[in-house]
Amino acid sequence: MDVVDPATGETVETYEEDDAADVEDALDRAEAAFDSWRERPRREREELLVSAAEILRDRKSEYAELMTREMGKPIEQAEGEIEKCAWVCEHYAEFASAYLEDEYHPSPPGSEVKTSYEPLGPVLAVMPWNFPFWQVFRFAAPNLVAGNVGLLKHASNVPGCALAIEEVLRDAGFPEDAFQTLLIPSDLVEDAIDDDRVKATTLTGSGPAGSAVASASGKRIKKSVLELGGSDPFVVLDDADLETTIEEGVWARNQNSGQSCIAAKRFVVHDDVYDEFVSGLVEGAEALTVGDPTDRDTEVGPQASADLMAELHDQVERSVEAGATLETGGEPLDRDGAFYPPTVLTDVPDDAPAARDELFGPVAAVFRVDDEEEAIERANDTRFGLGGSVWTTDRERGERLAHEIDAGCVYVNRVVASDPRVPFGGVGISGFGRELSEAGIKEFVNRKTVWVQ
């Protein structure tokens, strides 16, 4: 696996791929590790998560630089990602026992009936490159503390991050085989899922990848959780606080260089404030600093690869050809690296890629609506259903409309974000199942009824 720095186009590291024999050995070791790991007291497992959080913070600069080198994340955002990983470890260290406590049920006199939450075994996680530490830790922290063991197939452009995560957990005191990285190509994933030793699967990534993993898992009747793409609506009502809404909207579209499933992608704006909002959005996009991701002044770094940037640019060009108006951006920057500027499209036709597909980069599509009914209709005019947001000074109005948006999570006057304290996941082609909070830790457990007479 060659690691290409997307800011320079240079190959900076090469890793040897694992083969089928390596996978077989890893599965043997995972199965053996599970037999002992599941018996460790939960309090001990929680303490190891605390140690992992401490290591993450101690090595924050090192791991942030690794992230930036492999997939181009601006360095301050990379450091923030490491902090968030430490947070999810600490969250489950504090709350896992409460989340997994036995639940007692009404029963006849002299009997005791309860639900116990017991681990399943080795879980295969197929993870993406855009948040290369966070996506993995939001899987690893709850599942390891629940007593499962993990097998990670990470994206092929971030092998260093994958191995670093394994290092964190090993150095924190987790058993060596409780969490293993498999540097394998995608064509070996289905064989791993097909193996009896793998008890469940989870994937964060594209729709086609999710469909493949879900199909392979379903064929073997194995539990799976999918968090797939999104085309989140950012609904701006006529009574929104425009100064704040514009500022948050610029960030919501361009954070992580626009490469986020829950980034705001379709801006649905009431006619009364449309012109002012578009003007502010364009001004804000043009003010962002695009450049070297190792520079702390950089707000938007490169796209993760030249191929991904080319795909994004093709979507923009086809949207403009279909009739969209290019307000700013829209052309790769004339410099080394995969740099694409923050871009704003208006007058987007319904059949244009910017309206129908997920644009995984710093491109905002803006739609004008006459009233809140049309806003909800436009917000729901998508196959996706990951997240969304509503912006209004009337909190009750915002909450009412939040219930009308078809998505796994809707935020009122706040940018959509994943948070260890609340469930995260989508509906429609954005996936199924939930991560984080109590819901997430209970996805890969046996909810066992125990009746004692």
Q: Tell me which residues are annotated as active site.
A: 227, 261
Residue 89: both structure tokens together: 């470890």
Q: Please state whether 31 falls in left (phi above 0), alpha (psi between -120 and 50) or beta.
A: alpha
Q: For 129-180, give the DSSP string.
A: SSSTTHHHHHHHHHHHHHT-EEEEE--TT-HHHHHHHHHHHHHHT--TTSEE
How far is residue 436 from each of residues 178, 320, 411, 425, measured CA to CA in Å? 20, 39, 17, 9
Kind and range of the H or E element at 58? helix 42-58
How far is residue 122 from each of residues 64, 144, 198, 362, 437, measured CA to CA in Å? 28, 10, 5, 37, 21
Q: How far is Cα 44 from Cα 40, in angstroms, rounded to an integer? A: 7
Residue 67: both structure tokens together: 């992230």
Other C-beta atoms lying within 10 Å of the C-beta of residue 316: 24
How far is residue 214 from each of residues 30, 49, 138, 192, measured CA to CA in Å? 22, 29, 20, 13
Asked if 446 and 118 touch (Cβ cutoff 8 Å), the reply is yes
Separation of first and last alpha carbons in the chain: 57
Q: Return phi, psi of residue 179, to 5°.
A: -145, 115
Cα torsion through 205, 225, 93, 177, rounded to 10: -80
Asked if 128 and 204 touch (Cβ cutoff 8 Å), the reply is yes
Asked if 83 and 55 touch (Cβ cutoff 8 Å), the reply is no
69 Cβ contact list (under 8 Å, min separation 6): 3, 5, 12, 160
Q: How far is Cα 103 from Cα 94, in angstroms, rounded to an integer? A: 19
